[in-house]
Chains A and B, each alone.
Chain A
Amino acid sequence: MSVLALESVSKRYRRGHRELIALRDVSLEIENGEVVCVSGGRGAGRTTLLRIVAGTERPDEGRVRFAGVELRDASDALRRQIAFCNLRFLPAHGRDACEHVAMPLHAIKVSHDQAGLLAHRALERVGAADLAFTSPHEWIPSEVVRVALARAIVREPRLLIFDEPTNGVDPLERDPLLSLIQGIAHESGIATLLTAGDTASVTGADRVLRLSGGELLGRTAPAVAEVVELRRPASESSQ
């Protein structure tokens, strides 16, 4: 069963005398551990797609299911298994990477010590252990991506949504970062949706799709033979 399933989703916005069709009849399935990259230029419907998948916007038509549950009916606990990550977040100055990564854990009442430990582990996993006690203003763009990724995976989500994962990143650092995201997704069975204005984020994607004028083009569902059965890490069931 797909972790994320959009069925014939459409969304329109009213603008005075006009109507803008943001998404038209979009269907999309993503399996455990699968990395799907959706590219689309300005006005293609990317932001609307992200909002609908993240549950902050409801479609006019169609259904969105997450882990088999209609997203609009999902409990807060289930919704927290969706991690949304973009690089426009502006971490407060003075807060170090470790505290920043631990922040989502405080929201679910994880103890301070345990949160610190898990944040360190997440930073290690993304190759940013040495940033633990550094401030955001010291980070270069690829390090911002690593910290953002650590923060997104610290709660071990089932679905990771990453908008513009390589925006502003030095071209030579792009592919290693994308391979890192893919490695984590495959290893931990996290269904991953990457979105970007161009195709720079395709490396490591298992499927590549295109949003064009609100229409989603490409293989919107994984081929049966390609469905990777990845188990959730043992650490999750023990938590």
Chain B
Amino acid sequence: MVGNAKLKPSARLAVLGLLLERPSWGYELVARFERVFGAQPWEWRVTPTAIYRALNRLEDDAMIEPLGRGDGERWTDSKQRRMRQSYRATGDGARTMREWLAVPMSSSPSQEELLIRVHFGDASDELLRAMLRRHAAACLEELERIAAATAQTRMQRLVKEDRRLAVQARLSWIDFALAELRGPDDARIRPVER
């Protein structure tokens, strides 16, 4: 069994997703990663080293494979190879990503998880909306657990309130995301003929 279906939302998963979009090489991946995930100061930033390390680990796990140089030869210089070797995702890589995207998002996803899901999960707006509804369901279940929790000590009350407000923020984000995804056909406000 190759691959790891339990990949965490990490640079490795993001690189796998980028290679599923199209084959690419190290230097280009660094630039693409930044364009997709790190364009804003508050977004996700990783070092080029982390991208190259991700490529090595994905290759070890057989989720990606190197492409030939075109003249049938492989890079001999390891530094050159690191910079310019092209890779593509394998069937195992594609399955791993699919399985990961199919798992519902928790009520407190990391920013990395959120970015990967929104970027790679949007095969269609409908799929993305379904993902958001599952995410909302997870948040509401969490709120039910919070609602049922007894908080007798000061510490318990502080933690409970912190958690409730965190989940409330997620729900507000889901409201925004669902509104953003509504097309002209299901917009909240739409023109009507007189």
Chain A residues within CB distance 8 Å of chain B: 14-15, 17-21, 24, 37, 39-41, 43-44, 171, 175, 198-200, 202-210, 212-215, 217-219
Contacts and interface: CB of A to CB of B under 8 A. Distances in A.
With most chain B CB atoms within 10 A of its CB, the pick from A21, A24, A202 is A202
A19 B190 contact: yes
A219 B137 CA distance: 8
A202 B163 CA distance: 12
Given A213-B178, A213-B182, A217-B136, A205 B188 contact: no
A205 B144 contact: yes
B178 A202 contact: no
B171 A210 contact: yes
A204 B146 CA distance: 9
A11 to B, nearest CB: 12
Contacts, number: 82
Interface residues of B, number: 29
B192 interface: yes
Given A14-B192, A217-B133, A205 B171 contact: no
B140 A208 contact: yes
Contact of A20 (B168, B174, B186, B188): B188
Given A210-B140, A217-B140, A218-B137, A37 B147 contact: yes
A41 B175 contact: yes
B191 interface: yes
A18 to B, nearest CB: 5
Contacts of B182: 213
Given A212-B171, A214-B188, 11 more contacts: A17-B191, A21-B188, A24-B186, A44-B175, A205-B144, A208-B140, A208-B147, A210-B136, A213-B179, A217-B136, A217-B174
Given A205-B147, A208-B143, A218 B136 contact: yes
B140 A209 contact: yes
With most chain A CB atoms within 10 A of its CB, the pick from B147, B151, B171 is B147
A199 B171 contact: yes
B175 A219 contact: no
A212 B137 CA distance: 12
Contact of B136 (A171, A175, A212): A212
A18 B190 contact: yes
Contact of A39 (B137, B171, B190, B192): B171
B188 A199 contact: no
